[in-house]
Every structure is written in C-alpha cells, then in structure tokens.
Structure 1
Amino acid sequence: MKKLTLSLTLIIFLVSYNTPVFSQTINEADTEICETLKYALINSLRDPVDKAISEIYKDDEEAPEGLIWASYDTEILKIKQLSGVGGAYEITLKVQPYYRAHITYGEDIIVVSADGKLIDYEHLKTYPRVDFN
C-alpha cells in the first residue's frame, strides 16, 4: 500500500508541475516582424541587385559615379514560387538607385532568384541629374 501511495503521490507531483512550453519568435528589430523579414530578404539579395544596377547604368554617361540603393526604399513587387513549398523562388523588386544625399537617379525592375542569382532587369525611368556647384 505504501508503494501505491508513494507512486500516486509522485505521479501527481510530476503532472501538476508540468509547465506548458510556448514558442514565440523574438524580434530584436525596430520594425514589426513582417517588415523585418522584408528588409532581411531584400538585404540578402544585395549582390545581384548591385550587379544589375552597374549593368543598367554602365553605358549612361550622365550617371553619377557610385550609385547606391536602400533596402527601405525598395519595393517587393512579386514573389513567384517556381516549385513546391520551400523550393525555388523568383523575386521581383522595384529599386530606385540614388547618389549623394538620396537624390534618386532612376527606377528599375530587377528580378532575382532567392538563392542570389540575377535573372533579369529592366530600366524604367531616368531622372535628371542635379549638380550642386
């Protein structure tokens, strides 16, 4: 009888102190999780976007030297799933390269794969260059 009482007491003790575990994503950024993921995705594609911008403006004699772009100013237009969930993805971005203190020089559509390969690009618009002398 003592063994049964001890066993039941032990089982009740273990069951009553079983605390449920809840998993929660920890977001250590200044934006909501959705925005944070968006910027993380865009920043992970920095190399192919840089390559596209240099290709687009390489023959433009008016283009300022050292055009750059910002992830917070980049728009994700489309994410196309090429194969099953977790497979290959094609991401279409609208990028606005700028120079100096964020003076926009153009608008471009750049298509890259999720694994960082440049697929295609299209130049949409060039803005007049502003020189401050």
Structure 2
Amino acid sequence: MSDGSVELQTAIYTTLNSLSPALASGGIFAPAPQNTPLPYVEVQDGSGIANDVVGRNGLQELVNVHVWTNPGSFVPAKQIISRIRDALHLKNLAVSGQSYASVVVSSTRVFNDEDGTSIHGVVSLTVNHFGAEES
C-alpha cells in the first residue's frame, strides 16, 4: 500500500500543468531535464512526517516547488509564484488512494540563483493527507 507521496507529487504536477494560460513557457517538470529553457517550474524535493489519526494513516509532507526565470527582474518569478499560490493554497487536492489532501503554501522566496544566470523562486507547501478509513 502506498503512503501517497508519489500520488501527491502527481496531483501537484497535474494541477499546475492544467493552468491556462501555461504557468511557464519552458514547462513544468518533476524533475527538469538539464538545459531546460527558462522560465520553468520544477516540482522537486520533499519530506514526510507521520501524521496518523485514529483509524487513518496520514502523512504531513513538505514539498518544494522551484521556479526558474531569466535574470534581471524578480517580477516574472513572483508572478509565477502568485499563480502557484492561487492554484494550491488552502485547496484540497484529489490524490489517488487518499481520502483527503489539504495544501497550505507555507512560504515563498525569490533570490538571485548562485549560478548567476537565473532568478530562483521556491514555493514551500505543507500538505496533510490521509488514506482511506481503516476497518
């Protein structure tokens, strides 16, 4: 039985990929291939903490969504981050095999990436999700 981590990543990717107009012209990836043209979004790293409740297995996952844009201005990265927040914050996602998955955008940040050739944004998500009720 899955703990729902893979299904959660799929649900986040699907939600962001379904936005219209497209969230980022370079695409949305999990993970992005090398040399992907900017701007792009990457559903990336995360960690999980047991969050069981009576009768249900649960997991609280911390997932980071990375935004990469061209250098010069933070505005494009902030616009993409705003759309990610609108799509996910305080939403319940449909996660295969899970009865409930609630998302909170817990933090965002934008900075000049250390590579010197891009602006890097990070959207940190906290997601509580629970499996079906156990008998």
Same fold by TM-score greater than 0.5: no
Q: Which has the higher contact order (CA 8 A, sep 6+)?
A: 2
Name the structure with the higher strand share.
2
Larger Rg: 1
Name the structure with the higher helix share.
1
